Structure 1
């Protein structure tokens, strides 16, 4: 956060030498002296709250006086007020250009004089005085959820005001933990603090951290919001559950405020079971799409057992948090395909947007484009980079700067080379969980930082398509000869009935020798075999 001293600068911006506010961006020639305050000075000038010197200069580094401070407050709070009585300050002439502003400010209780009957209009304001004036004028409410401590503050007349403003992100101290209350502030510094008070949207945002957890062939994304809430989106396969729990624990997280299951495929909800068993989950958001696997049933049973509030996501709804929001752009409980049911979320933090697409298909993308603004700086590439997602048209509309590929060793061909090349041709920096492991992106609301190396295409995680002649040790696939009843149901296309039939067949006839032998299992036909074949090994 910018130094709170910026707040004082805004106060002084009004001077007697100008009669009309200037458009700061065009009129003030000296704002490059303090580029960090240009936006705030411009805002206050355009609102008529502050003025320059009438010669094209603002004087951002000049100290601010008590008279200028009073005029700025009155310009904002009582712009058309006329003094009803003489404030009685011995050192304030009725001929002064500041007379009316000071008189109104005194009448409204914004300022006061000294015991000797003076106002001292030309005296410079200190940091603690600026905080006290702003706090009294705007009645800033303290956020008791924020721990405010400055090593050089005692318990005196200005301490409460300083803590009020600091708790709301309006002012701050120095990196050494001090506030320096007796230090003067300049016009630029004061301008920033005043602008943060007048317009909450101008205040700098706290950081938001987004973790793309390496769960192998699957998805799991953790959001830590600026206000400290935790949102876990998917959890990879069931075998990744312990790893997700360990990751959360290492981050100091034992509570999930919102768990999102984008759709019921095992590589998205399996790991959520361990999270539900070991952590305090406050709420679950689900696509509403039902499934028949034991993994899905275990997931629902735990939610019911722990009496966790369960909601279905609806397209167009917005989930708002302090300093960030999430908009649902796709969610279908009645879709015939699990991937098409995927919850798609656009997460907005200031000027930085994340588009988290689950396994949404090209058809979903076509539906979203005319309905929503999908532009985003960071794209979680759909369906682990498969060709079923991330069309040319979608990339053109999203215009991502960063693409996250979440996948592990697999024989599906994820990520598809055409998708990777499509994103590269669009100048997207790609990052791969299989290549880099866990990937963290920290957003300030204006910029973001990625804690990983850019994916260059040399990928050790794409296995050769399994032809049945391997040794069955590919960790990205389910071995139908050794998998348990529950593990078999992690395969999309194998439900409770087929899993039981596979085990019955194994026990009767021994291990499967070829994929085609699976056609002998009840309820496995050609279409089902084609669906499950890329997910299994022998």
Structure 2
């Protein structure tokens, strides 16, 4: 059911997104974006997608490092880039109210902006934990809230090991319904699993496919 991705909005805006190439895969005709993800790599298409649209920059040596885990600071940067948020610079030497951040670090504008938008809040003890690895449940919440996806509450469990009352049930349900994640062989969800850069690239690519399917659904309805 693709209609849960987009349920309202300006039709002309959606058409503009299509002509920008998001739904035509014009990016897929390009050569390798990253030196360590060639055409035989399982993450090749997803890596090309996030590279073409500037969601991931890669490293100075030209690599993507698909198996490297992604932390909170990096997550803030890619979701802001992926969903077109304006990045806001904090005041000079400001820690934005978080005692464990470096005011001069590269990530400060992204952490500050993500907190302003309510995408990524700090911890109860006043920390932001920018270097902490993001797990699957956390990443889905951050990603889908950033995307403003039409996520609804759980009434049934989408996975055998996910309780209906768990805070992440609705995000897991949405991801399963839209086929955003690679399913585990045993059919479980594993909310605490660390997310890699390849995992996040696949999430962006899969979400875009579902999003475009919703747009085409709207086009057919407007013809």
| TM-score normalized by the length of structure 1 | 0.31
Q: How far apart are the structure 1 equivalents of 2:179 and 2:108?
A: 33
**Aligned match for 1:178, one of 169, 183, 188:** 188
Q: How does 1:105-124 map onto structure 2 within 5 Å?
A: 105-124=114-133
Q: 1:477-510 deviations in whole A, cap 9, x for unaligned?
A: xxxxxxxxxxxxxxxxxxxxxxxxxxxxxxxxxx
Q: 1:316-344 deviations in whole A, cap 9, x for unaligned?
A: xxxx979xxxxxxxxxxxxxxxxxxxxxx
Indicate conservation of the 8 Å contact 2:80/2:110, yes or no. yes
Query: Are 1:101 and 2:93 matched, yes or no?
Result: no
Query: SS of the residue aligned with 1:151?
Result: coil
**Aligned match for 1:47, one of 15, 37, 53:** 53
Following superposition, the deviation at residue 169 of structure 1 comes to 2.1
Partner of 1:71 in structure 2?
Answer: 77
* Larger strand proportion of the pair: 1
Partner of 1:189 in structure 2?
Answer: 199
Q: How far apart are the structure 1 equivalents of 2:144 and 2:33?
A: 30
Q: How far apart are the structure 2 equivalents of 1:93 and 1:72?
A: 19
Indicate conservation of the 8 Å contact 2:47/2:198, yes or no. yes
Q: 1:93-144 deviations in whole A, cap 9, x for unaligned?
A: 1110000011011111110111111111111111111111112111222489
Query: SS of the residue aligned with 2:204?
Result: helix
**Aligned match for 2:210, one of 197, 200, 204:** 200
Following superposition, the deviation at residue 172 of structure 1 comes to 4.8
Indicate conservation of the 8 Å contact 1:89/1:118, yes or no. yes
Partner of 1:495 in structure 2?
Answer: none
Q: How far apart are the structure 2 equivalents of 1:37 and 1:126?
A: 19
Partner of 2:166 in structure 1?
Answer: 156
Supply the RMSD in Å over aligned alpha carbons.
3.0
Q: How does 1:107-506 map onto structure 2 within 5 Å?
A: 107-142=116-151, 149-154=158-163, 155-200=165-210
Q: How many residues align?
A: 183
Following superposition, the deviation at residue 54 of structure 1 comes to 1.3
Partner of 1:30 in structure 2?
Answer: 36
Indicate conservation of the 8 Å contact 2:66/2:196, yes or no. yes
The structure-2 alpha-carbon separation of the partners of 1:27 and 1:135, relative to structure 1 and needing over 3 Å to count, comes to closer
Q: 1:396-430 deviations in whole A, cap 9, x for unaligned?
A: xxxxxxxxxxxxxxxxxxxxxxxxxxxxxxxxxxx
Indicate conservation of the 8 Å contact 1:140/1:165, yes or no. no
Query: SS of the residue aligned with 1:51?
Result: coil
Following superposition, the deviation at residue 50 of structure 1 comes to 1.0
Q: How far apart are the structure 1 equivalents of 2:197 and 2:129?
A: 18
Indicate conservation of the 8 Å contact 1:142/1:168, yes or no. no
Q: How far apart are the structure 1 equivalents of 2:147 and 2:33?
A: 29
* Larger helix proportion of the pair: 2
Indicate conservation of the 8 Å contact 2:100/2:128, yes or no. yes
The structure-2 alpha-carbon separation of the partners of 1:34 and 1:179, relative to structure 1 and needing over 3 Å to count, comes to farther
Following superposition, the deviation at residue 200 of structure 1 comes to 2.8
RCO higher in structure (CA 8 A, sep ≥6): 2
Query: SS of the residue aligned with 2:45?
Result: helix
Q: Give the ranges of 4+ consecutive aligned residues of structure 1 lying more than 6 Å apart after TM superposition.
A: none
Q: How far apart are the structure 2 equivalents of 1:201 and 1:77?
A: 12
Following superposition, the deviation at residue 173 of structure 1 comes to 3.0
| TM-score normalized by the length of structure 2 | 0.72
Following superposition, the deviation at residue 79 of structure 1 comes to 5.0
Q: How far apart are the structure 1 equivalents of 2:208 and 2:73?
A: 19
Q: How far apart are the structure 2 equivalents of 1:125 and 1:82?
A: 23
Following superposition, the deviation at residue 55 of structure 1 comes to 0.6
The structure-2 alpha-carbon separation of the partners of 1:163 and 1:64, relative to structure 1 and needing over 3 Å to count, comes to same
